[in-house]
Amino acid sequence: MNLKLETTPSGFAVSISGRPILAHSAATPCFFVGQGNDTIKMHRGRFAIEDRLAERCPLAYAAIDGNTILLSAAKEQPPRLAVTLEGNALRLRSLDPTVNRLWLRIVADLDEHVWGGGEQFSYFDLRGRRFPLWSSEPGVGRDKTTEITFKADATGHAGGDYYHTNYPQPTYISSARYALHVETSAYSVFDFREPSFHEIEVWVIPESIELFAAPTFVALVEMLSARFGRQPPLPEWIYSGAIVGLKDGANSFARLAAMRAAGVKVSGLWCEDWVGIRPTAFGARLFWDWKANETRYPGLRQRIAELNDQGIRFLGYVNPYLANDGVLFEEAERAGYLVKDASGRTALIDFGEFHCGTVDFTNPDAAAWFSEDIIGKQMLDYGLSGWMADFGEYLPVDVRLASGVDARLAHNLWPVLWAEVNAKAVASRGRTGEAVFFMRSGFTGAQKHCPWLWAGDQSVDFSRHDGLVTVICAALSSGLLGNAFHHSDIGGYTSLFGNVRTPELLMRWSEMAAFTPVMRSHEGNRPRDNLQLDGDPVVLAHFARMTAIYVHLSPYLRTLSQEAAKRGLPVQRPLFLHHEDDLRTYGIQDCYLYGRDLLVAPVWQASQNQRSLYLPAGIDWIHVWTGQSFAGGQEISVAAPLGQPAVFYRAGSEFEALFAGLRA
């Protein structure tokens, strides 16, 4: 799978497995270098990024020396960039110290599809759009044409756009069956708008450009998961039901008991407010001082033990920031464990009505302290079996780090360091694969540390760019890059400007969650304003039935979990992964394969009782609820009343009896 370099009459060409990657001539160079002076300003996890470009120089002249290409603006000028082919990588080296920008053009086909870019929410097929890759808050609404995004921008610069993501990654997969990865943590841009080339922009000279090629998409995904890391299998306890999220203090236990009495299958109780509550204008926030608040949860350690005796695990919450009015902040500041500002003082970040210090994970002592003293002692030893490892996107670029690394280069890596801190804590207790944490932020390499992703803070609605449908796109895009286990907050999270949950939304989201690796509910940022699963008997009965479906499918999910650990294949898969000869599957992002044998088409729009979808060609598909058989290769419409989302299984599947049992 090595890269091949050839000279051509007009320059050179690089290919992998016969696929053209670079095509250079003096008239159409593929490398450009230059100089830029950027401005990056952060406001509560959202970034205003500008670049004042001083130079963009095409490197038109190429001199080839063995496997190295020396590139310059003209024959009589000195080379400014050296590119060496090593195995499947292009190793890049700047020969001009003034250069801090690189542009690279990759050969594209007119009908090519492109996927990846980390975790993308709006568009699964990236072709035709430009995607800046910088970890940030995705923002509210994520659609500048909507009222909710306008209001969020107007009141707190909190509106998002289609490309904003907690988890960017400079990696893409092409329908030409190759993948490209840029080994850098710098701000970068993938631009897929041109018909004949893809342009990659990086705000440094990256270490390398890695390329992968395979005869099938499955083999390509296996390669990428091996490169970036694979997660352990799902813990055995997860198969017994949903993780119920309640943040109601001691009353959470009584509510959980009532939900179980109503038939809800439960594997865990998740109380993010185990550390206490801080009321804010945004809603009920947590008190960011990471230890049990036994005023809000009296006798919590004993309660956790009682739940364990019932086969139910207790989960909490943590993030890498310390509130400056908490005890742990004082301890960390005394020890010099917090990120510093330009003057050498502790850098404080505004999180909206309170301020926090950031634990400096580039300081090995600080990382070990957080891993052992906070996660190890205060959480794992206390009895927790899991937690939301929140945030990771908020590192400003104007701070000083213990390692001396420029914060511009550390920013995207911060979620990876955060994931590693959590993973080391779990491993230190011998509980890898049994105790879990889930994250919304990420970057290259988070895969080998983070057991589960969750999709972050969707709006509590059916909106196209921030609602239920976006978590499907998020699962599919991130899953191709080695993140096998993905899930979301049932019912969404963000409730602002009068936007609140409806019973229909909760039920439709529960239906989808039953066909994902993890079912987990969330009360949202404004629990008192929004309907909860136990706030309506119809919704609760529906949720109970969905948890029973999840448990019923556990034998199938176990096989998918083992397959993910061994081969790196995601549990939720794009249709084309197993139907690559059917080109009609390449652009579908509102349906997914649950493993190889189930096709799930959630109802993601309000007031809909029918679902139109395309069935991949070459096999017959059986409608789960009626047993009706449909030939693949056609667009169909089926009834999808509440409680019966459009789900099909492959005729002849070894799990056919299990799937047919859902009709009982």
According to the model, what pLDDT value does residue 174 have? Answer: 98
pTM score of the predicted model: 0.98
Q: Is 470 helix (H, G, I), strand (E, B) or coil?
A: helix
Catalytic residue among 201, 273, 393, 466: 393
The end-to-end CA distance of the chain, in Å, is 50
Backbone φ and ψ of 506, nearest 5°: -60, -40
DSSP class of 347: P
At 392, the pLDDT band (50, 70, 90 cuts) reads very high
Neighbours of 254 (CB within 10 A): 11
The number of angstroms, rounded, from the C-alpha of 453 to the middle of its chain's C-alpha atoms is 6
At 50, the pLDDT band (50, 70, 90 cuts) reads very high
Q: Work out the burial of residue 322: count CB atoms within 10 Å of its CB; fewer than 13 is exposed, 13-18 middle, 19 or more buried.
A: buried
The C-alpha angle with vertex 320 and arms to 529 and 40, in degrees rounded to 5, equals: 90
**Burial readout 13-52 (b: 16 or more C-beta within 10 A, e: otherwise):** bbbbbebebbbbeeeebbbbbbebeeebebeebbbeeeee
Cβ–Cβ under 8 Å, residues 323 and 352: no
pLDDT in tens, 574-592: 999 999 999 999 999 999 9
The C-alpha angle with vertex 526 and arms to 42 and 287, in degrees rounded to 5, equals: 60
Give the chain's count of helices (H) and strands (E).
13, 37
Range 592-596 average pLDDT: 99
pLDDT in tens, 139-181: 999 999 999 999 999 998 899 999 999 999 999 999 999 999 9
Residue 68 has pLDDT above 90, yes or no: yes
The strands making up 101-107's β-sheet, listed across from edge to edge, are: 46-58, 31-43, 101-107, 197-202, 188-191, 130-133
**393 part of the active site:** yes
pLDDT in tens, 493-537: 999 999 999 999 999 999 999 999 999 999 999 999 999 999 999
Percentage with pLDDT > 70 across the chain: 100
Catalytic residue among 248, 390, 590, 597: 390
Neighbours of 377 (CB within 10 A): 12
Q: What sign results for the dihedral spanned by CA atoms 174, 180, 181, 186?
A: negative
Taking the C-alpha atoms of residue 615 and residue 571, their distance in angstroms, rounded to an integer, is 19
According to the model, what pLDDT value does residue 75 have? Answer: 95
Distances (CA, A) of 32 to 60, 65, 68, 105, 438: 9, 20, 17, 9, 39
Residue 565 has pLDDT above 90, yes or no: yes
Residue 553 has pLDDT above 90, yes or no: yes
Range 261-269 average pLDDT: 99
**457 part of the active site:** yes
CA nearest neighbour of 209 among 83, 115, 97: 83
Beta strands in 467-588 (DSSP E): 486-487, 572-573
Residue 284 has pLDDT above 90, yes or no: no
Catalytic residue among 222, 457, 489, 534: 457
